[in-house]
Amino acid sequence: MISLKKPIVLLSALMMASSVLASDIVEVTMVRKGKDYLFSPETITIKPGTKVIWNNTDNQLHNVVSGVVENRKGIHDKKFKSPYLKAGQKFEFLFNEKGEFPYYCLPHIAMKMTGRVIVK
């Protein structure tokens, strides 16, 4: 007699693994709202091992630079930096460390286009 116990356990494990993989990706869009450019959502909270994908849904060039903005100047902390992204282009980064990771869009610093990833 064939035992169905092992295939069912294997199928359950595969289903659980695929749901974990799907939840380990978070998308942030670059958008224009009125006269403002922004990351949406501006702040995300994720767990280690999550991939964040920034998607430029706007018709302007944007980028994603890790660091803070002080006195209208970006201070790049060298953790990640995308190239300039045209409409429809994406940039991704895998967050493995816990912490807070602020970022900004270099062409739109004056418009305060900033965001934050919190990994805990």
| DSSP 3-state of 70 | strand
Evaluate if residue 106 carries a pLDDT over 50: yes
Q: Which CATH number fits domain 24-119: 1.10.8.100, 2.60.40.420, 3.10.20.740, 3.40.1190.10?
A: 2.60.40.420
Evaluate if residue 6 carries a pLDDT over 60: no
Q: What is the mean pLDDT of the chain?
A: 87
Mean pLDDT along residues 10-37: 68
pLDDT in tens, 61-103: 999 999 999 999 999 999 999 999 999 999 999 999 999 999 9
Q: Which amino acid is at 120?
A: K
Q: What residues does each domain of the chain span?
A: 24-119
Tokens of 72: 């209208």
Tell me the pTM: 0.81
